[in-house]
Amino acid sequence: MERTFVMLKPDAVQRGLVGEIVQRFERRGLKIVAMKMVHISAEFAHKHYAVHVGKPFFEGLIQYITSGPVVALVLEGANAIDVARATMGATNPAKAAPGTVRADFALEMGRNLVHGSDGPETAVFEIGLWFGEQELVDYGRSVDAWVFE
Ligand code: IDP
Ligand code: MG
């Protein structure tokens, strides 16, 4: 089983879309291993988005992501990283496939509602940045045999 980090950005919280978006991951079969609401500092945002330092959209991105509370999650399941990103849709909501979160609820890149780790190393880094070991809850679900082969 693979784990990924997902964040519902401030626009998701402000627009009342937390339940709708979390439900899409849950319905797909991904298991919530950790979940919390945080209002992150600029310093923390710089750590999370360190790979984007120096890009033209960086300052706007930091402003956006620190503009209000976010909901951070760790999701677990087969191919969790790719599956979560597929559920989210392309970075640019205007180009995201219909049925994805970004296509169904967003219009612009700087208000694209959700973040998801883009690979195994990023997932390990982001889960460790956002959550302590004791916050990752280890439990089984009785439906797992109906979700995973
Ligand atoms: P991702 O979130 O789909 O992985 P990244 O390329 O990692 O996309 O970019 C991180 C975030 O930065 C995006 O989700 C988006 O909110 C923002 N972003 C990326 N490119 C642009 C841009 O060209 N204009 C405005 N915001 C951008
Ligand atoms: Mg990214």
pLDDT mean by block of 10 residues, the chain; 149 residues: 98 99 98 98 98 98 98 98 98 98 98 98 98 97 96
Q: For position 66, what pLDDT does the model report?
A: 98
d(CA 40, CA 68): 8
Query: Is 145 part of a structural domain of the chain?
Result: no
Q: For position 4, what pLDDT does the model report?
A: 99
State if residue 12 touches ligand 1 by the CB under 6 angstroms criterion: no
Report the SS3 class of residue 146. Answer: helix
Query: Is 93 part of a structural domain of the chain?
Result: yes
Looking at the structure of the chain, the number of domains it has is 1
d(CA 58, CA 99): 28
Q: For position 6, what pLDDT does the model report?
A: 99
Q: Which amino acid is at 121?
A: E
Query: Is 144 part of a structural domain of the chain?
Result: no
The residue with tokens 């978006």 is 21
Q: For position 52, what pLDDT does the model report?
A: 98
Q: For position 10, what pLDDT does the model report?
A: 99
Q: Which two tokens stand for residue 50?
A: 């360190």
Domain CATH for 67: 3.30.70.141
Q: Which residues constitute the domain of residue 7?
A: 2-138
Q: For position 96, what pLDDT does the model report?
A: 98
State if residue 90 touches ligand 1 by the CB under 6 angstroms criterion: no
Query: Is 121 part of a structural domain of the chain?
Result: yes
**Residue of 61, 62, 64, 92 best suited for mutating to test ligand 1, as the one with most atoms within 8 Å of CB:** 61
Q: For position 144, what pLDDT does the model report?
A: 96
Residue 139 CB burial class (10 angstroms; 0-12, 13-18, ≥19): exposed
Query: Is 149 part of a structural domain of the chain?
Result: no
Atom of ligand 1 nearest to the CA of 88: 3
Q: For position 60, what pLDDT does the model report?
A: 98
Q: For position 46, what pLDDT does the model report?
A: 98
